[in-house]
Amino acid sequence: MKSNILHIILTILISIVWLANGLFAKVLGFVPRHQEIVARILGSDISFTAIKIIGVLEICMFIWVISRKYTKLCAVIQIVTVITMNIIEFFLTPDLLLFGRFNIVIALIFVFIIYLNEFIIKPKIQ
């Protein structure tokens, strides 16, 4: 019972991370640093459109996480996405990251929480 409650809480928190980053930071543009990162990686000519698309995809991830459909695939895609994004940013835009190169540590903690929530804590269906 306790693991089920923890799983639900962690699922909600994980989904909120995707919603906050997608909607507020990228689509609504409340964190301009995100567009600067994309501009440096993909070029400033497409950064506005690219950041909006990325934001919408993150909102889709929020919906997928809270839908609780295909949860293992969802967790794997989240993990791969977060690790890939943070490795790219670690090398190409560390000066634009909130915590510099230390951001990768925070990303790895987030990835660990996703893994733990899906593959360790999630109650097994009998």
Q: For 35-93, how does the pLDDT look when each residue is reduced to its tens digit (9 = 90+)?
A: 999 999 999 999 999 999 999 999 999 999 999 999 999 999 999 999 999 999 999 99
Domain that holds residue 117: 2-121
Checking if the pLDDT of 126 tops 60, the result is no
Asked whether residue 13 is domain-assigned, the answer is yes
pTM: 0.93
For residue 21, is it within any domain? yes
* Tally of structural domains, the chain: 1
b/e sequence 33-65, b meaning 16+ C-beta within 10 Å: ebbbbbbeeeeeeebeebbbebbeebbebbebb
CA–CA dist 38, 50 (Å, integer): 7
Given a cut of 90, is residue 123 above it in pLDDT? no
For residue 105, being part of any structural domain is answered with yes
* 126, part of any domain: no
Residue 89 maps to a domain: yes
In a domain, 55, yes or no: yes
Instruction: Examine residue 19 and state whether it is found in any structural domain, yes or no.
Output: yes
